[in-house]
Amino acid sequence: MSYMDQALTLARQSLGEVHPNPPVGAVIVKNGKVISEGITQLPGGPHAEIMALAELDYQASGSVMYSSLEPCCHYGRTPPCTDAIIKAGVAEVHIAVLDKNPKVFSRGKEQLEKAGIKVIVSEFSPVVEQLYEAYFKFITTGLPFVTFKFASSLDGKIAATDGSSSWITGQDARDEVHLLRSESDAVMVGIGTVIADNPKLTARDSDGRLLDKQPIKIIVDSHCRISPNANVLTDDGMTLITCLEEQNVNKDRLKAQGIKVIETPSFNGTVDLLSMLSQLGSMGITSVLFEGGGTLASSLIQHSLIDKIIGFIAPCFIGGKNAPTPFDGAGFSSLSASQQVRDISVQQIGSDIMIKGYLH
């Protein structure tokens, strides 16, 4: 594994945990050996570069640093990493990608260069781009990056005509979904899915044990129809209900229960999804894994609010005119108007196929 790959592996460990900050890893190398490593800490805590330097008592004369993201050069909750890198005597800094935070972009690199440090920025890499896609959208727009995940049969059905959907895909694909949940800041479903399936929305291993990193659970429930006994409310972890601003006794009850409620103006009688996402962004949520259902999916897609899809396709046919598909609503009236998916990648997971792609 290259030194930069080591830094990227460290960065990935913090994905889904350090929002609104980016996942970052750093390694410091001297005489061809890794002498320290760092992972970014929770917001307000030290950055990856500082963690790695601290291990060396901030003495890193003549060393080479590999950082998964351009070192910061501004005062945020913490002082600039560039100052600490210069002071420690680092000779060379390798960066996987420049930080699209307007307060940093290219200026971190320039400050290091001004101090006589050699800086090398890696060539474009889809792996790095994917690691930072949520943070980059968030830091430039204030909105979280939304990924729509669904599991379907070969004929595009997400449940049988009796509504049953457990399980269409195999264990390996389901494990992958739990990993995706743990690497997301939040998971989101519509109230219809909560009523129909009563999901837990936690990230678990194949034995049902909770993984270390748990996403915030978001339920889009315009009229606060959720039952107080729903698993998402009674299980561990934080749950947010998003609903309309209007009067509602159930909403008062939820608030009295200590459940956080996000209120939006009405858009045709339902939650205004853009207002909801910008409020989630203001709370520091950078990534949302949306898991259905179909009505909410079609509203999100109509408003261009889905950034990425991850579809798990199982080798079976369900059939039936009335069996549901990932997108409900009226659909697109012609092929020329249909939603295109670009930059697709395909991978086999167990006996299922995982397809990823971007909508915009």
Of residues 72 and 318, the one with the C-beta less far from ligand AOF: 72
Residue of 5, 9, 30, 76 interacting with ligand AOF (CB under 6 A):
76
The residue among 16, 355, 332, 300 whose CA lies nearest residue 152 is 355
- Minimum CB–partner distance for residue 65 and Zn ion (Å): 12
47 binds Zn ion (CB under 5 A): yes
Q: Which entry of ligand AOF, Zn ion, none binds 357, CB below 5 to 8 A by partner kind?
A: none
Residue of 16, 22, 292, 326 interacting with ligand AOF (CB under 6 A):
22
84 token code pair: 């600490």
Q: Which entry of Zn ion, ligand AOF, none binds 69, CB below 5 to 8 A by partner kind?
A: ligand AOF
7 binds Zn ion (CB under 5 A): no
Of residues 97 and 288, the one with the C-beta less far from ligand AOF: 97
Known catalytic residue: 263?
no
36 binds ligand AOF (CB under 6 A): no
Q: Which entry of ligand AOF, Zn ion, none binds 168, CB below 5 to 8 A by partner kind?
A: none
- Minimum CB–partner distance for residue 23 and Zn ion (Å): 13
Q: Which residues of 241-270 are buried (b: 16+ CB within 10 A; e: fewer)?
A: bbbbeeebebbeebeeeebeebbbeebeeb
Q: CA torsion, points 53, 59, 63, 68, in degrees to nearest 10?
A: 10
DSSP string for residues in 287-342: EEEE---HHHHHHHHHTT---EEEEEEES-----TTS--S--SS--SSGGGSPP-E
Of residues 81 and 306, the one with the C-beta less far from Zn ion: 81
The stretch among 71-79, 157-165, 239-247, 278-286 that binds Zn ion (CB under 5 A) is: 71-79
107 binds Zn ion (CB under 5 A): no
Catalytic residue among 49, 70, 176, 183: 49
Other beta carbons less than 10 A from residue 340's beta carbon: 8
Ramachandran area for residue 105 (φ above 0: left; ψ -120 to 50: alpha; else beta): beta
Q: Which entry of Zn ion, ligand AOF, none binds 190, CB below 5 to 8 A by partner kind?
A: none
Q: Is 214 helix (H, G, I), strand (E, B) or coil?
A: coil
Measured from each CB, the residue nearest to ligand AOF is 76
**Which distant-in-sequence residues (6+ apart) come within 8 Å of 17 by Cβ?**
23, 42, 213
Residue of 4, 60, 64, 72 interacting with Zn ion (CB under 5 A):
72
Q: Confirm if 240 and 216 have CB atoms less than 8 A apart.
A: yes
In the numeric block, the tokens 């299922």 are attached to: 352
Of residues 184 and 242, the one with the C-beta less far from ligand AOF: 184
Q: What is the DSSP letter of 227?
A: -
The residue among 286, 219, 356, 224 whose CA lies nearest residue 16 is 286
What share of residues in the chain are helix, strand, coil (percent, to 5)?
A: 30, 25, 45
- Minimum CB–partner distance for residue 223 and Zn ion (Å): 44
Residues 280, 286, 289, 290, CA torsion sign: positive
Show the site string, 228-267: x = touches ligand AOF by CB under 6 A, - = not.
Answer: ----------------------------------------
104 binds ligand AOF (CB under 6 A): yes
Query: Catalytic residue positions?
Result: 49
In the complex, which residues of this chain contact Zn ion (CB under 5 A)?
47, 72, 81
In the complex, which residues of this chain contact ligand AOF (CB under 6 A)?
21-22, 24, 40, 43, 47-48, 69, 71-72, 76-78, 81, 99, 101, 104, 139
